[in-house]
Structure 1
Amino acid sequence: MRALFSKPWVLALFLLLLVVAGFMRLRLETDILGTLPEDLPEVKALRLLRDGFSGGSDLLIAMQAEDDALAEDAMTTLAERLEKRTDLVKEVRWAQPMEQQAQSGAALMAWALQNTDPAQLKAVRERLTGDGAKAKLQQSLQTVAGSLDAEKVQRASYDPLGLLDSLDASAMSALEGSMFGLVSEDGLFRLLLVTPAQSVSNYKSAAAWLDQMKAEIAQWRQDQDPENKLILRYTGEPAFQSEIGAGIEKDMSNTVGLTEVLIAVLFWVMFRRLKPLLWIQGLLMLSMILTLGAGGLLVGKLSIMSLGFAAIVLGIIVDYAVLIIQESRQHPHLDSKGLRKLAAPGIVAGACTTSTVFLSLLFSGLPGLSELGLLVAVGVLVGLGVMLTFAPKFAAGKQPPNTVVEPSGQPAKHGLAIVATLLLFGGMAGIFAVKGLPKFQTSAETLRPSNSEAMDTLQWVQDRLGQLNEASLPVLITGPTEELRARTQKLADKLAAAVKDGTLVRQAMPTLLIGDPAAQQDNREFIQWLLAERPRLEKEIDAAGFADAAAALLRSVCSVWEPALKGPWPQDETTAAAGSVLSRLLATGERAVKGGMQPGQAVALASVSVTGKPGLPDRDKLAAVQALLTPDTGAWVAGWETLGRALSTLVQHDLNQQLLPIMGIIAFTLLVTFRSVKDLLLSILLLGGGLGALAATMSLLEQGWNLASLAAIPLLLGTGIDYGIHLLLALKRSGNDIRHVQATTGKAVFFSGMTTVIGFASLFFAGNRGISSLGLACCVGTLWILLIVLWLVPHWRAWLRAK
């Protein structure tokens, strides 16, 4: 077997098969929650909110018109057209006309009544027995004729018998919110929710389905809105998946392509050699192909946070080729083996240190950053192997004869370097004294796309449908199925007190819609009685002088109960019409398990409102709400607003745990490489100066750290130490000949640093705000480290050695 693999073609074939297998396994991950820690409660809540409730995969179509009549008519015709496309659409939900709302609302009323307190229904029965019905109807007539309360008049008109008196009036808001809330107060803005007929579980299927939907809507618009008076925009899960997937592909091609081009331009400007440029580009492409194959086997996916690995890897591994070329120019007599032996120690030490630091990101609390660190580390090691294998063969003995730079033999002057050192550290101290250290931003905004039409549309929806001075927050209440109603009612009482003391603006709990099997069993007798008394009660309503519509509620709820009583009782789903709304507020059975709950557990979706603006709650009020949701309530806020603080705590904790081991690994590697405590201290001073200068720059520009850019610290440690290793080893070999080292190895290190800057700078254009900020921080930090290592470190070492 060993003899077989010793043959180059067998090894090449084996590697090819691995690469192909990796590529077949590789996929693009468009789920932003997939880049976050699964065990974090706030992430669990967001995933449960999306996957556990019906509507998590809905497309939201936002429409705005010039007048409310046009908006209502246009939305109705569009919804009815989409309902007919059963090949594309499973369900459509919008603010329907009142008569259609009454039909679906009756099923919800029936469900709420059969789960209400049996004592309340018993009181209703006693009130309607005998002449009691006539008395109640007369009371309702007086309310309709003389009350100034529009809400009471409306309720007496459609429920003159007072059937709904048995329901908790304070809990009715949740029931009403389940049927309304899809149209703005002025009627000009409306929302249409469309559930795909088939699963759109990946970005390609989501994009294909969305294109079909847009084509269907375009045909509708030709008939209904030829002058384009309507504003139509799209958001929701399919829109996000399609947008993020396309963005990842674009970012990958743009960052890699831009990095390759800029590296090629920089190489040509510095070396003016075409053949080395061509074979370097070839080796870079080979390295990236092998890295993607290995990444496919190890990780299996590229997410919005790990997509930037390619540009970083290219910026790092091209350095190894340039260092080999530089050594070959200084030692033209060496063959490929000799050249490899000469260049390998510094390159291997730098690559191992760099990859180790990037591998430390595996311990990050953010899976997206862990994937980024693993992919970069793999890419660096793969690039190391490719460059050390092939680059010496291409470079050895093929350099121009006039490229050798002779030692200068002249002592360097340290005066200017000493002044620059004092200005560097003095300037940092002054900035920190005046401005302080950069603040840490706890917002989760950095996890969102930089430019996202779907995100902008979602914000538009929140602004138009929300209250201007309020921020609505979803709350998930969990617990055993049989205990969920009691738990929700207990929390409702707690939150009602919070409304009174000003912590909350309002709260809406779906208590009425949560099933209570015991109450359903006890209420069966009342339902049977009402079905039997229905003819008499309808006659009483007609005799009292009410319009025929006044008996609609009685007829509707009875028509729901009649078939239900024929089967086993109680029933979990009274009717399909109620079930479509219940599924948006309650997650039980398989849907709860899909969202991450254990079997036998259920979840209710409630909401609270605090002062602030849509999507931007007051932080103190938000913290107060979270304090109210103690573990015994089984409830937590499920929103991006709470995610930022939780992730910030996690990331800072991870960084505190990572820095000490990283510094220990770096110190050990440097000590083994240099075998000199002074060179070790110089390397630490180099890294400290670079990171300090970056922090001072951020403070001066009033920029802060965020969830993603904080990862720049270990990344800069990994890339920055590489430059120090190469330069300090060159200084050691030359006896601190600063001018000679700056003209030879320094030139290669400058090229290496600038390619790394190019790699990080290409991340500016990434579609994710966090990746963009990470690229900016790494770019600025690398420039500072490059300045220090090329200009100051040689003088520091010469000065220390002179002493």
Structure 2
Amino acid sequence: MIERMVAGIVAAALRLPWLTIVLGAALTVGAISYVESHFAITTDTSQLISSDLDWRQREQQFDAAFPQHSDTIEVVIDGTTPELAESSARKLYTALSAKVPKPFEAVHRREGGAFFDKNGLLYLSLEEVKQTTENLIKAQPVLATMAADPTLNGLAKALSFVPQGVEAERATWADYEKPLSVLAGSIDDLVTGKPSVFSWDELLTNEKPASADLRRFLEVKPILDFGELQPGAEASEIIRETARQLGLTPDHGVRVRLTGSVPMADEEFGTVAEGLVVNTALTIAAVLVILWLALRSGRIIFAVIVSLFVGLTLTAAAGLAMVGALNLISVAFAVLFVGIGVDFGIQFSVRYRQERHNLDALREALVAAGRNAGKPLALAAAATTAGFYAFLPTAYRGVSELGLIAGSGMIIAFLTSITLLPALLVLLNPPGEPDEVGYRALAPVDRFMARHRIAILTVTAISVAAGLPLLQRLTFDFNPINLRSDKVESVATFNDLMKDPATAPNTIDILTPSLGDAKALAAKIEQLPEVSRVVTLASFVPDQQPEKLAVIRDAANLLGPSLDTPDERKRPTDEETKATLKEAASGFADAAKKGGGSPIAARMADVLGRLADATPDQRSKVESALMDGFKLRLTQIRAALGAEPVTLEKLPQDIVSDWTTKDGRARIQVAPAGDGNDNANLRRFATAVLAVAPGATGVPILIQESAKTVVSAFIQAGALALISITLILFVALRRVSDVLLTLVPLLLAGVVTLELCVLIGLPLNFANIIALPVLLGVGVAFKIYYVLAWREGETSLLASALTRAVIFSAMTTAVAFGSLFFSSHPGTSSMGELLALSLVTTLAAAVLFQPILMGPPRNEKKPEQVSPASSTELSESL
């Protein structure tokens, strides 16, 4: 029935070829117009999984309560010194804040600001407060002198007190060895024009700055348009340009980098698009070469390409009409369509060539091709469509939409192959086929495989069974970051932050009805061994405040008067600064001569002397490099010594709004203990917190839950695809044994594919796992071709035209899929790698294993000739 129906459709297209082509052209023009006016792609990766899931609803509820923390740009500012990092953050924060409300909704400092400048000491431990204030008191003579004259002249005066202090035995040269060495080295570098790194923090504390002291953060909430391919690109570029205009560049000791959900999504799309034109051109060229080897006729190739193009445009238009906007996964429909859809054109064309060799008459050969290839093509289209449609009921929306578009595309590809393709061929009138189309040279291989059928089946079974233990080592990479290129700034910066537990974005957030509920729940969570830190709004009220404030007030009483901002005074002239430097150098030189001298005293004398003899411009550069940081540090010290009691009521509004909502709900943030980059550790952490707080959300939970959702979706889709394909085969083949002969090689190919994944070290992930259901659809098409040919009595399958069609069809599909492997995007590349690998195993199972498994056909094939009845049927069809 299917054969007659397809033959009738082909005959109808042949009777009205121009109408068929005009109709196809009209549909194509309409489809192109629709795509141009309706094309849309969303890079919002949060929409790839259904929002109806419980964990997605918790995520959305939290994002709605604290929208300022979703869809953000994280600005990471690294300075060579703490002072440079802090001053750079202040400059950039001020500049970006001036651009609110467009293109930024808000700009927020994650740390620092006036509140923490004033009360930052209260958040240290009592011992740390005591140590910090003691260091400041020890530095009081230097601080007082320089506070009164914050210039290079004041620094020289302050340094002149050092030899006096040592001579009065209030200190030793050993006490000054490290800070003076740092200062001497910096001055020496600056005078000679070399880059210099100098920190007053290090000089005052006599300790190297911690990595956290060299880094600051801004959180920017941009205005996004998800209709754009890169919704945050404009905002990101404005941030980068502002940083450049402020001189916040590496050659000035500052590095500004962007990460966060917005830059990562933008740069991911850019990575996917990178090299797309070149890869596409090379893929098309390779496909054309393969088509030439398969079809040997420019006219037939032209007809196949036109048919494929028409099918692709119709699929694109239908896809946009069905889903509205493509996503980062469904956009791959084009590659899948070309890779799989071309199979129908090749199968029909090779069958036509075979019939043309037998019949010679063009129209009769085309109708015969439709009749003889109709059933396998229809079954292949139905099975492939079922494989893609199996994703529709799953919660993995990104792949579900891909399945809808690609599955519909298979129907379109089948229809164009039996209508437009024969209509084009009858008008193009390719020459006849004097030679056989198949590979008759492979007939001995057919006979060899038939003679040793049992031995080959046994060896195959043993080999596959021997590899089954490998499946225990099959891994699934649950980390979505590994699907992104670590060469782009946003991902590289994210990975850098992940190395530090204090900055790793792997915390869990919990939304509670009130601050009281948050405190009570936080107390329970703190008891979990999987938890290292729990933060609520109450955490911003420091402990031991009376004791800390007493220490700070004592230091303020001692230091305050000497650090007060002096009245406006005349700036020292360069000549005055030069004289002060020489005086200071003389003091160090005299000290170096006494009692055997000190190397550091001699070095300071030399450095200060050379600075005094330098040009005014050199002294100006040294002053700017050294004193700008001191002025900032002096401002911070003055603010810190004015600390006041902190209560919930006195917390700044920006902090309060970060932790509570207007209706009183409160946020809890929980950090993991142990390695935050270890997936097993994060899984234990997420499980433990969810057991106490079922409403929790956050990156560790989202990663685990999305992994469960994706894996569940593919298991569901795989099972549904297998069931639906089995039903289609049973309805068409009517024999359980024939259905098994079709499915067993397919399942064998799937097992071997997974075994090879282990051997080559290719883990499954959220992107490449799509290859497995696609394997069902593509693989079953090849198997159907062979089973139906076997049922018709074909005795030499390898030598037949069918094998030619299958091999070249697989080659074009492999080229299309393999082109993804060369993508700069790791997720896309891994998808292409697994698709190509699965295609190789599927082809081997179809061409080599299936004929052996089927054995001799039930009915020997009659000599290829056209009976009188067949001739009559062809004439009636035409």
Structure 2 distance, partners of 1:50, 1:615, is 26
Question: SS at the partner of 1:507?
Answer: strand
Q: Which amino acid aligns with 2:85?
A: A
Q: Which amino acid aligns with 1:751?
A: F
Is 2:611 the counterpart of 1:578?
Answer: no
766, 773, 782: which is aligned to 2:839?
A: 782
Q: Mark the CA change 1:734 to 1:97 in structure 2 (over 3 Å): closer, same or farther.
A: closer
TM-aligned CA distance change 1:420 to 1:758, over 3 Å = farther
Alignment partner, residue 218 of structure 2: 192
| Equivalent residue runs for 1:435-446 within 5 Å | 435-441=470-476, 443-445=478-480
Partner of 1:398: helix, strand, or coil? coil
**Structure ID, larger Rg:** 2
Contact kept in structure 1, 2:536 and 2:669, CA below 8 Å:
yes
Deviation for aligned residue 1:302: 1.9
For residues 257 and 217 of structure 1, the distance between their equivalents in structure 2, rounded to whole angstroms, comes to: 38
Following superposition, the deviation at residue 53 of structure 1 comes to 3.2
- Other-structure match for 1:611: 674
Segment drifting more, 386-395 vs 330-339: 330-339
Q: Could you tell me how far apart the structure 2 residues matched to 1:382 and 1:603 are?
A: 53
The separation in 2 between residues aligned to 1:745 and 1:800, in whole angstroms, is: 16
The letter for the 2-side match of 1:150 is V
Asked if structure 2 preserves the Cα contact closer than 8 Å seen for 1:89 and 1:197, the reply is: yes
Residue number among 764, 768, 772 corresponding to 1:713 in the alignment: 772
Query: 1:749 deviation in Å?
Result: 0.7
State the partner residue of 2:87.
73
What is the match of residue 150 of structure 1? 129
SS in structure 1 of the partner of residue 71 of structure 2: coil
**AA matched with 1:622:** F
Report 1:362-373 matches (<5 A): 362-373=392-403
Measure the CA separation in 1 of the matches of 2:654 and 2:227: 21
Give the corresponding residue for 2:854: 797
The AA in structure 1 aligned to 2:535 is A
CA distance in 1, matches of 2:557, 2:817: 81
Residues 1:508 and 1:478: Cα distance change in structure 2 (over 3 Å): closer
Within 2, Cα distance between the matches of 1:197 and 1:781? 43
Q: What is the distance in 2 between the residues matched to 1:472 and 1:758?
A: 39
User: What residue ranges of structure 1 are gaps of 5+ in the alignment?
Assistant: 1-5, 110-143, 158-182, 515-540, 562-573, 590-600
Distance 1:348 1:239, change over 3 A: same
In structure 2, C-alpha distance between the alignment counterparts of 1:96 and 1:676, rounded to whole Å = 71
Matched residue SS, 2:217: strand
| 1:480-515 per-position Cα deviation (integer Å, ceiling 9, x unaligned) | xxx4222201111102323xxx3322222224689x
Q: 1:441 to 1:255 in 2, by over 3 A?
A: same
1:553 is displaced (CA, Å) by 6.1
Letter in 2 for 1:638: G
Task: State the shift of 1:660 in Å.
Answer: 4.1
Q: Residues of 2 paired with 1:715 and 1:218: CA distance?
A: 48
Report the AA paired with residue 509 of structure 1: T
Indicate whether 1:280 and 2:304 are aligned: yes
Q: Equivalent residue for 1:427?
A: 463
State the alpha-carbon separation in 2 of the partners of residues 655 and 199 from structure 1: 31
AA paired with 2:536? M
State how 1:121-520 maps to structure 2 within 5 Å: 150=129, 185=211, 187-196=213-222, 202-221=228-247, 225=249, 227=251, 229-250=253-274, 253=277, 256-332=280-356, 333-335=361-363, 336-396=366-426, 398-405=430-437, 412-413=447-448, 414-416=450-452, 418-433=454-469, 435-441=470-476, 443-445=478-480, 448-451=483-486, 452-464=488-500, 466=502, 473-479=506-512, 483-498=513-528, 502-511=529-538
Which sits farther off after the overlay, 421-430 or 14-23? 14-23
Are residues 1:763 and 2:820 paired?
A: yes
Alignment partners' CA distance in 2, 1:197 and 1:383? 41
8 Å contact kept, 2:308–2:338 = yes
- Secondary structure of residue in 1 paired with 2:259: strand
Letter in 2 for 1:669: I
Indicate how the Cα distance of structure 1 residues 257 and 578 shifts in structure 2: closer, same or farther if over 3 A, else same. farther
Which residue of the partner structure matches residue 174 of structure 1? Answer: none
What are the superposed Cα offsets for residues 62-102 of structure 1, whole Å, 9 maximum, x if unpaired? 23232223333333333333334445445433477775645
Cα offsets for 1:506-525 (capped at 9, x unmatched): 222224689xxxxxxxxxxx
| CA separation of 1:186 and 1:416: change in aligned 2, threshold 3 A | same
Change in 2 beyond 3 A, CA 1:96/1:249? closer
Q: Which of 696, 703, 708 in structure 2 is aligned with 1:649?
A: 708
- 1:37 maps to 50
Match of 1:694 in 2: 753
Q: TM-score, normalised by structure 1?
A: 0.73
Structure 1 residues 644, 250: CA separation in 2 closer, same or farther (over 3 Å shift)? same
Report if aligned partners of 2:485, 2:491 keep a CA contact under 8 Å in 1: no
Where structure 2 has 5 or more consecutive residues not aligned to the other structure, the ranges are: 1-17, 137-208, 542-554, 565-638, 861-878
Answer whether contact 1:727 1:749 (CA < 8 A) is retained.
no
State the Cα deviation string for residues 564-614 of structure 1 (Å, max 9, x = none).
xxxxxxxxxx9xx9333333333456xxxxxxxxxxx84514232311145
Q: Secondary structure at the match of 1:441?
A: coil
Question: Is 1:674 aligned to residue 733 of structure 2?
Answer: yes
Q: Using the alignment, how far apart are the partners of 1:781 and 1:766 within structure 2?
A: 18
Q: Deviations over 1:401-447 (max 9, x none)?
A: 323358979882324554443222211111224x3445342623377
Deviations 1:242-262 (A, max 9, x none): 213334444765665443232
Distance of aligned partners of 1:209 and 1:262 in 2 relative to their CA distance in 1, 3 Å threshold: same
1:594 counterpart residue number: none
Deviation at 1:326, TM superposition (A): 1.0
Q: In 2 relative to 1, CA 194–104 (structure 1 residues): closer, same or farther, beyond 3 Å?
A: farther
251 and 352 in structure 1: CA distance in 2 versus 1, 3 angstrom threshold: farther
Please name the residue that 1:135 is paired with.
none
Q: Deviations over 1:186-242 (max 9, x none)?
A: 522222333336777744442123223322322222xx6583543332112331232
Paired letter, 2:75: I
Instruction: Confirm or deny: 8 A CA contact 1:206 1:242 kept in the other structure.
Output: yes
Distance 1:582 1:272, change over 3 A: farther
Contact 1:53 1:585 in 2 (8 A): no
Report the equivalent of 2:571.
Answer: none
Partner SS, residue 611 of structure 1 = coil
Would the alpha carbon gap of residues 503 and 660 (structure 1) be closer, same or farther in structure 2, given more than 3 Å must change? closer
Q: Distance in 2 between matches of 1:152 and 1:304?
A: 54
How far the C-alpha of 1:311 sits from its partner, in A, is 0.9
Q: Deviations over 1:18-54 (max 9, x none)?
A: 6534553331121111112323344345445556331
CA distance in 1, matches of 2:481, 2:221: 29
Contact 2:28 2:313 in 1 (8 A): no
| CA shift for structure 1 position 722 | 0.4
Normalized against structure 2, the TM-score is what?
0.67
* 1:442–1:645 Cα contact (<8 Å) kept: no
Deviation, 1:283, is 2.3
Aligned-partner Cα distance in 2 for 1:737–1:96: 76
Residue 111 of structure 2 contacts residue 216 of structure 2 at CA under 8 Å; is this kept in 1? no
Q: Matched residue of 2:511: which SS? A: strand
**Partner residue of 2:163?**
none
Q: Give the SS at the match of 2:390.
A: helix
